[in-house]
Homo-oligomer: A and B are copies of this chain.
Amino acid sequence: MYSCHWPMKRILTALILILAVFALIFFGQLWMITLAAAIVAELATYEYLKLAAVGAESHGAQLRIPIWWMALGTALAFVVTLPNFPVEAQLPVLSAITLALFAWNGFRAPLIQVLPDTAQGLFGLIWIAYPLTLIPLLWKKEDGPALVVFLMVCVWAGDIAALYIGRAFGKHKLAPRLSPGKTWEGSIASIIGSILAAALVVWIGDLLTIRGNLLLHITEPLWQTLILAGILNIAAQLGDLLESAVKRGAGVKDSGTMLPGHGGILDRIDALLLATPVLWFVLLLKDTFSLGRF
Contacts and interface: CB of A to CB of B under 8 A. Distances in A.
A242 B106 contact: yes
Contacts of A288: 86, 89
Contacts of A175: 107
A106 B90 CA distance: 28
Nearest to A58: B112
Contacts of A118: 123
Given A59-B61, A95-B277, A277-B95, A127 B111 contact: no
Interface stretch (A97-105, A195-203, A254-262): A97-105
How many protomers of this protein does the assembly include?
A: 2
Contact of A92 (B119, B177, B245, B284): B284
A98 B127 contact: yes
Contacts of A58: 112
* Interface residue SS majority, chain A: helix
Interface residues of A, number: 58
A126 B280 contact: no
A35 interface: no
A91 B90 contact: yes
A126 B111 contact: no
Contact of A114 (B87, B94, B238, B245): B245
B91 A91 contact: yes
Nearest to A273: B99
8 contacts: A59-B112, A87-B88, A89-B288, A98-B123, A102-B127, A103-B238, A106-B178, A119-B119
